[in-house]
């Protein structure tokens, strides 16, 4: 594939835009816009954005967490992740904060891994993935409540996580994107 192959930003004329549902975490918007010779209305989740962390230790194991997710009625395996919900916070700082909050770990080395739009047909959510290495215990531990109160933390060989994703045993999209990208990057070294 040529390096010039990339998504193209397009800014059609917005005729109207309103919040039709004001949520606790994200909103639903209704936009009416001109596209070609038409006027189109689309509803979508207006999301703050998020970060996800692929934390890998010196034994090539990836840190996974398991927690309850109500929409899918499942305790799914995930990467440590969180919302960009602090005004003006850079994605890297959010990733560092989320790793400490969810796992009580810090990392000495951080590298951007990839960024993805999760469901561009229905949401403007973008997730920034970071590869974190040089892990150690955080100086402070965090109290966890609600779904985070019983987070399960496991170190899993990266190859096993990739196999579980490809076998359909772990279906979280952020987990899949992160471990597959990390595996490819590590293979390129």
Using the predicted structure, report yes or no on whether residue 104 has a pLDDT greater than 80. Answer: yes
Catalytic residue among 101, 148, 154, 188: 148
Domain span at residue 36 reads 14-46
What is the pLDDT, as a whole number, of residue 19?
Answer: 96
148 noted as active-site residue: yes
pLDDT band at 110 (very low <50, low <70, confident <90, very high): very high
The answer on 78 and 40 residing in a single domain is no
The answer on 162 and 80 residing in a single domain is yes
State pTM to two decimals. 0.91
What is the pLDDT, as a whole number, of residue 105?
Answer: 95
The answer on 62 and 119 residing in a single domain is yes
The answer on 25 and 58 residing in a single domain is no
Calculate the alpha carbon distances from 132 to 24, 73, 106, 109, 156 in Å. Answer: 30, 29, 9, 6, 15
Sign of CA dihedral 17, 21, 22, 24: negative
Q: Which tens digit of pLDDT belongs to each residue from 147-171?
A: 666 788 999 999 999 999 999 999 9
| Sheet arrangement for strand 38-46 | 14-21, 27-35, 38-46
What is the pLDDT, as a whole number, of residue 151?
Answer: 82
């Amino acid at each position: 594939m040529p390096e010039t192959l990339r998504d193209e930003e397009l800014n059609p004329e917005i005729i109207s835009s309103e919040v039709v549902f004001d949520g606790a975490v994200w909103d639903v918007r209704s936009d009416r816009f001109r596209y070609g010779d038409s006027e189109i209305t689309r509803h979508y989740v207006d999301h703050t954005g998020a970060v996800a962390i692929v934390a890998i230790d010196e034994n090539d194991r990836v840190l996974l967490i398991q927690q309850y997710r109500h929409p899918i009625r499942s305790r799914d395996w995930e990467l440590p992740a969180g919302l960009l919900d602090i005004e003006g916070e850079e994605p890297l700082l959010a990733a560092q904060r989320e790793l400490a909050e969810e796992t009580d770990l810090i990392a000495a080395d951080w590298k951007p891994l990839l960024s993805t739009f999760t469901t561009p047909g229905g949401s403007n959510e973008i997730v920034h993935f970071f590869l974190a290495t040089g892990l150690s215990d955080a100086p402070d531990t965090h109290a966890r409540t609600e779904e985070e109160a019983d987070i399960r933390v496991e170190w899993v060989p990266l190859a096993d996580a990739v196999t579980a994703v490809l076998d359909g045993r772990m279906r979280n999209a952020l987990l899949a994107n992160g471990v597959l990208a990390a595996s490819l990057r590590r293979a390129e070294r």
